[in-house]
Structures are given as C-alpha cells and as structure tokens.
Structure 1
Amino acid sequence: MNWALRLNGVGNSSAVELGSAMATIERDGAPWLTIDCGGEGLTAYLAQYGRMPDALFVTHTHLDHVGGFERLFVGSYFDEARRGKVRLYVPAKLIPLLHQRVGDYPNALAEGGANFWDAFQVIPVGDAFWHDGVRLEVFPARHHWPDTAFGLRLHGSLVWTGDTRPIPEVLARFADAGELVAHDCALHGNPSHSGIDDLEREYPRELLDRCLLYHYASAAEGEALAARGYRVGQRGELVELADTSAAQVRSTET
C-alpha cells in the first residue's frame, strides 16, 4: 500500500492565495480521507480530483475549516448515489459546535423536506475510530477553548495537529513512531497559533526535523520559515508517507 498526503491548502484564514488549511490522505493514488472542509480547500480538492470528497475528519469548526460544508451538502444531497453516504468523522465534543456553524438553519432547502445532515453519515468519534479497515487516533489540540480542536494520527505514518499552540506532552505520546508531523506554524505565534520560536522552544530537535509546517500567513512567511531550515508545505504538494502498520491492527486483534 502506498500512502501520501495531498496539501489542498496551507494558509491561515487570511492567506486566501495559499488556500485554507486542508489536506487529503491518499492511498494508492486515490483520495482516502480528507481533513477539514474549508472553502478554498474544497475548491482545490475539486480541481485535483474532479469530485467531492467521500470521507472527512473535522478538526474544529472555525469557518476556514468548515466553510465548504454548504457546497458539500448541495453536492451530496442532490446526488442519490452519495446522499447519506458521505462519512463525517467528528470528535463528539464538536458535534454541537458543527451543528451551530453549518447545520442549524430553519430549512436546509427553501422548499423544505430536508435536514442538513440527511446528506451525510455523521459518525461521532472519541479517542480513535476506524475508517476503511484502518484505525486512526484522535488527540486534543490547544486552540482557543479546551475541547474545541483536535488532531489526527495515522500510526507510523502521519500526525496532523490541526490549529494549535505547541503541544509537547501530547506529541510525546501521539508522534512517537516516526510519523511525519504536519504542524500549525507561522513566522510569529499568537494566543491560538504556533510561531516558529514557540516550536523551537517547546520541541526537541528530532521532532522539529519531522515537522511539515503549514497554516502560515503568506508566501513570504513560508520562504522565511524555509530559510531557517524547516520543511514548509506548499499548496497542492503531494508528500509521500511511510506505510502505516495501522492497516494491520484489525487482523492482529481479531
């Protein structure tokens, strides 16, 4: 099995030219699981794959990460082959927030007769979940309020932090198998996002060497981060991942 990460967007909420931070895990060259659904990110996804995503994980509910859901609803509800089959893996504590952000409108359709969530198969998740025979882990990030942002781990292959301040104690547990760590990082941090000085202060060199930085503010910031010796994600880039042992968990446990 070949695994890769497609960066649909790498910018923060203001860096429209970089696309909203969003990515898709590919397996054997095909989209397998998409992380978040921002407006610009969804446009990039459609341009890359020519269709809407079939399965998504939601890290948090800021609009640059969920602003594409109305378009995803239209593209799913009105396609009988997709209606109710698009899998949404949502950390359980985010369910009410996601509903408030994108699902709580008097009528999903002006003529009535439809609920917003009819278009999807919503799967609340806790510390871990299964997708297509593979077990993925979920961990808390540090972004604004507690229990409102989460990251994702594909064991031995990928850690996606989502929007976060440094989380050294979390990554000591959830990035301990040599994974590529796609990490929120700009040139300068703030109370809800990491800056490169924050990462250098909080993380050991070995972890920094595995980081792929995204969610920066501009192309110039990306160049500045790269000039400091870091790997910086680019919009549309395909990043090869290590083959994951997670795909074998089901067979070894049963």
Structure 2
Amino acid sequence: MDWKLRFLGVGNASAVELGSACAVVERGSSPLLMIDCGQEAMTAYLEAYGEPPGAVFITHVHLDHVAGMERLFVDAFFDESRRGRIRLYVPVTVLPHLQARVADYPGVLAEGGANFWDAFQLVPVRSGFWHERHWFEVFPVRHHQPETAWGLRLPGSFVYTGDTRPIPEVLAYYADAGEFIAHDCALHGNPSHSGIDDLEREYSPELLARLALYHYASADEARVLRERGHRVLEPGEGVVLPPPRDPRAPLPS
C-alpha cells in the first residue's frame, strides 16, 4: 500500500500565499490523519479531499495551526454523520491551551445547548496513540515554553517536527530508522523557529540529507534555501514515504 505525506500548506504565520503549515498522512491515496488545522488549512483540505477530515493531530495552539478548528466544529456539529466522530488527538500538556484558546469561548453556539467538544472524539495523548491500527509516536520539541509544542512520528516512515528550534538529540532517537523528516526552517532563525544556519550547524550531513523544509516566509526564501542545497517543500506537494514499521514486529538485531 502506498503512503504519502501531503503538504497542504508550508508557510509561516505571515506567508498567507503559502498556506498555513499543515500536512495530511495519506494511505492508499486516501487521507488518514490531518496534522494541524490553521486558518487556510480547512479550505485546502476540502479542495484536496472533498469532505472534512476524520482525524486531526494538534502540534500546538498558535493560531496558524488551530484557527480552522472553529470551522471544523461547525462542519462536524451540524452533520449528524460526523458529530462526535472526528478524532482529535491532542497532547495532554497542549489540551489546557487549546481549551483556553478555542473551546472556552462563551456560548459556542448563540442558541446554546452545545459544548465545543461535542463535535469531536477527544483523545488526549502523551507518548503516542493508535490510529487505524497504526502506532504514532509523539515527542516534545523546542517552541516557546517546554511541552507546549510536539512533533509526530510514524516509525519507519516519517517524522514531522512541527514548529521548533533544532532538536538533534530528539531526532537521534525519534528519527533513527531512516524516516523522511519534515522540519521547520526559514532563512533566518529566531527564539521560536529554526533558521538554516541553525540546522547546518547542529545537524549531521546524513540527517540534513533526510530533511525537507517548511514553515518558511516566502517563495524568495525557498529559492535561497534550495540554492544552499536543501530540499524545500511546496504547497500541495505529496512526498512518497517508506511504509511504516509494524509496531508489533521485533526490531532488527
């Protein structure tokens, strides 16, 4: 069965033309799991797949990653076939921030009678979660305060860092099976995000060769990153993935 990671958006919070950073795990050409749901992500998802997602993983709660959640609530709540069935995987340390930023708005419906979570099947996660018989691992990254932002791994297949500074010690553990790595990177770093100088300084040539960059600021930045020899992702691009490792199979000796 074919596996892909489809990038619906690859830009930072200001790069509207590049779309909110968002990816979808595809299995056999069908969407399996949406990663983040920013302000443009729902439009891109519906254009790509024709219906709302059945499952979403949230990396953190900056609005370019969760601003689409209100729209997803409306789509789910008013469709009885979806209400309460969209799986929402949220790291337990992120959940209070998501509650405060999105779910606590007084009166999610003007007429009352509804809670934000009524639209979803909430699954709090810590080290990982099962979805459609596949085990996804979750790991903390370096973005603002500790444990407020998380990355995602499908063992043997891919690693998605979410927003982060360089994390060489984390990737040494969570990308140890040759996985494709989608990594936050712009031309210039800051206290919340990686710049290309940071990655070239912190990561080995072998690791850099597996990286594909997203969350950059503009098409011009992408061109410069490519001129430096790096792979840069484009909106709508689908990356063919290695098939995931069976989590029940013994590890190679």
TM-score (norm 2): 0.97
Task: Tell me which protein shows more helix as a share of its residues.
Answer: 1
Q: Could you tell me how far apart the structure 2 residues matched to 1:106 and 1:216 are?
A: 35
Q: Could you tell me how far apart the structure 2 residues matched to 1:163 and 1:80 are?
A: 34
Residue 138 of structure 2: aligned partner: 138
1:1-254 → structure 2 map (5 Å cutoff): 1-245=1-245, 248-250=246-248
What is the CA deviation profile of residues 13-67 of structure 1, one whole-angstrom value per residue up to 9, with x for unaligned ones?
0000000100000000000001000011221111111111110100000000000
Which SS does the other structure have where 1:34 is aligned?
strand
What is the root-mean-square deviation in Å for CA atoms of aligned residues? 1.1
AA matched with 2:207: L
What is the CA deviation profile of residues 198-246 of structure 1, one whole-angstrom value per residue up to 9, with x for unaligned ones?
000000000000001000000100111011111100000011000111x
Q: Could you tell me how far apart the structure 1 residues matched to 2:154 and 2:88 are?
A: 17
- Sort the Cα spacing of 1:155 and 1:251 in 2 relative to 1 into closer, same or farther, 3 A: closer
AA matched with 1:15: A
Q: Could you tell me how far apart the structure 1 residues matched to 2:109 and 2:193 are?
A: 36
Which SS does the other structure have where 1:100 is aligned?
helix
AA matched with 1:57: F
How far apart are 1:250 and its partner, in Å?
Answer: 4.3
TM-score (norm 1): 0.97
AA matched with 1:125: V
Q: Could you tell me how far apart the structure 2 residues matched to 1:250 and 1:53 are?
A: 27
Which SS does the other structure have where 2:34 is aligned?
strand
- Sort the Cα spacing of 1:252 and 1:174 in 2 relative to 1 into closer, same or farther, 3 A: closer
Which SS does the other structure have where 1:89 is aligned?
strand
Q: Could you tell me how far apart the structure 1 residues matched to 2:172 and 2:249 are?
A: 27
Q: Could you tell me how far apart the structure 2 residues matched to 1:156 and 1:175 are?
A: 8
Q: Could you tell me how far apart the structure 2 residues matched to 1:151 and 1:218 are?
A: 23
User: Could you list the runs of 5+ residues in structure 2 that have no partner in the other structure?
Assistant: none
Which SS does the other structure have where 1:147 is aligned?
coil
Question: Which 4+ runs in 1 deviate beyond 6 A?
Answer: none
Q: Could you tell me how far apart the structure 2 residues matched to 1:110 and 1:35 are?
A: 29
Which SS does the other structure have where 2:130 is aligned?
strand
- Tell whether the 8 Å contact from 1:133 to 1:250 is kept in structure 2 after alignment: no
Among all aligned residue pairs of Structure 1 and Structure 2, give the percentage whose two residues are the same amino acid: 65
How far apart are 1:251 and its partner, in Å?
Answer: 7.1
What is the CA deviation profile of residues 169-201 of structure 1, one whole-angstrom value per residue up to 9, with x for unaligned ones?
000000010001000000000010000000000
AA matched with 1:8: L
- Tell whether the 8 Å contact from 1:134 to 1:250 is kept in structure 2 after alignment: no
How far apart are 1:249 and its partner, in Å?
Answer: 2.3
Which SS does the other structure have where 1:13 is aligned?
coil
Which SS does the other structure have where 1:93 is aligned?
coil
